[in-house]
Amino acid sequence: AQSVTQLGSHVSVSEGALVLLRCNYSSSVPPYLFWYVQYPNQGLQLLLKYTTGATLVKGINGFEAEFKKSETSFHLTKPSAHMSDAAEYFCAVTQTGYQKVTFGIGTKLQVIP
Distance CA 37, CA 43 (A): 8
Question: Which phi and psi angles does 50 have, rounded to 5°?
Answer: -120, 130
Decide if residue 6 touches other proteins (CB under 8 A): no
**Residue (of 45, 32, 53) closest to 87 by Cα position:** 45
Q: Please report how close the Cβ of residue 16 comes to other proteins at its closest, in angstroms.
A: 26
Nearer to other proteins, 80 or 101 (CB): 101
Decide if residue 101 touches other proteins (CB under 8 A): yes
Please state, as a whole number, how many other Cβ atoms lie within 10 Å of the Cβ of residue 71. 10
List residues near other proteins by CB under 8 A.
32, 34, 36, 38, 41-46, 49, 88, 90, 92, 94, 96-103, 105-106, 108
